[in-house]
Structure 1
Amino acid sequence: MLERKILSSAELNAWLTSEIRKIDGCHECKLTWKYRLRDPGQHDGCNWSDLNLQLGEGADLDTAVKAAGEIERRAFKLFNLEDEAPASPQASTMEFHKYVRPRLLSTPVFQLDANLINAKQKLEAVNQLETWRDNGVICLVMSGIAHTEAQAGGGTGAEARRKKAASHIFTINEAGEAEEDDAYSKVEAILWGKATNDNQANDVEVVCEAIKWHAILITNDGGSNSQPGGILGNSKRLSEELGLQVLRPEEAVEFIRNKILERDGFNAQVTALTGKPVPEWTGQD
């Protein structure tokens, strides 16, 4: 048997189609190869098999099928497909990164309460949360009402509070939207029974915005000897009845550290299987 000529996939398809279009009644037909064979030795050395026949307008089926069979037998003796090119480094990297988890954690948004504005950077847990935000590890925002609260008031540190609040992304509600929300009365009843001042009403709105945006609320409000109730003191009911997760800043840091360990552990398994290096930011969070 003569040595087969090596063709690219496109070249073989072009030859097959050209041949069938020489047949009367098949001028608009298209013929392409179908399978690349793993073991050409079992097929007389040919590394491809079978054809796809696409009939053209007005083509005679019997004529086209008969012609395709004859063309396949000739092509089988004449041609082999060139070897598939190895994946380029860029393609390989792209394939790898489909499976690696990104630096941004797959968690809900974290919503920071006004009592954690941290204008003087003295709250270590909040400093850590802000660092993770700046490094693209988490999404940390404020609710609109908390953002407004943080900028209110005067006295020492007022300007620093306003500047710090201005650095935060914040969610917004239309005026009066919170009070019209079905959750408002439920949250109000859980926190206070009935809000009797602006601060209590603001806390209700903070919680409602977190529920609306499916956020994890981070706060220092309540749950203390001086204020046993409030948001933290009622966090269990807020979770059980309204599905809201409420955390102290230290608890949020622990929660996120565990998520980072999960992410990096998963990526380590992927790199072990693929032989690719871990993402460059691994170990920096």
Structure 2
Amino acid sequence: MDVVQVSELCKKYKNKYRTKIALDNISFSVKKGEILGIIGPSGVGKTTLLKILTGQLLPDSGQFDILGGKISQKTYENLGIMMSDGLYETLSIKYNLQLFAEIFNINSKRVDQLLKITDLYELRNKKVTKLSSGEKQRLLLCRTLLHQPQLLLLDEPTSRLDPKNTVAIHELLSKLKREGKTIILTTHDMLEAEQICDRVIFLHQGRVIEIGRPYELKLKYNPKVKYELMLKNGEFLKFTETRGDLLQISALLENKKVATLHTCEPTLNDIFLKLVKGGKDK
């Protein structure tokens, strides 16, 4: 079942000097229970795409369905949107969430539960103006999850977080996926996308230049398998998948000289740079 369907979306920004193409015929779909990563550097159209999907911007052309239809008030009841703003700066963490809980008629126990999950409970009485950028980011995620939406649209959910909180958020998103939630997130962190996304979309100059599962993309852009060994004496060796090299690897393993062995597959960042430099736009 497709929770989101996007077909040939286009968006341009114009001023008296020039026209910038933000989205150029974007098409994709997202299935229930999937985490889709929209990845690429700043300025490639990631946030513009999320704003269109959440009804904050209108496309110039193309169409999309979300949660089975056109966007409406009912859609918002099942949609969690995490953007970079929307907090009441002079209010405390807990009061910010309580206000939204009252709007959705949600029990206050849910507020405390989310604050504990995101490690904000001890800071619950702290005003938003006093928060670090990472603490604000976690508060925005709390607000997004408050009404237990079926579809989450997250704009760089782990930006400005330290490694510990990044891992915690990744674990939370994976748990939500197991519960059947569908998640679309934007990120410029290729490693993050590789770790938690079922599929990724590479955006470049407003266009989709590649889409697929991370491991499938690695296989696609790694035609010659390479191996790297570290021997127990500290020496590093590299081999290809030729018969001679495989025999050498086998001999080293048999003689128990190998400390570590792994394949030298490309990262998503390697693949993205290859596509951009090679001009292999789709």
Taking structure 1 as the reference length, the TM-score comes to 0.30
**Bigger RCO of structures 1 and 2 (CA < 8 A, at least 6 apart):** 2
Could you say which structure has the larger radius of gyration?
A: 1
TM-score, scaled relative to structure 2: 0.31
Q: Which has the higher helix share?
A: 1
Q: Whose strand fraction is larger, Structure 1's or Structure 2's? A: 2
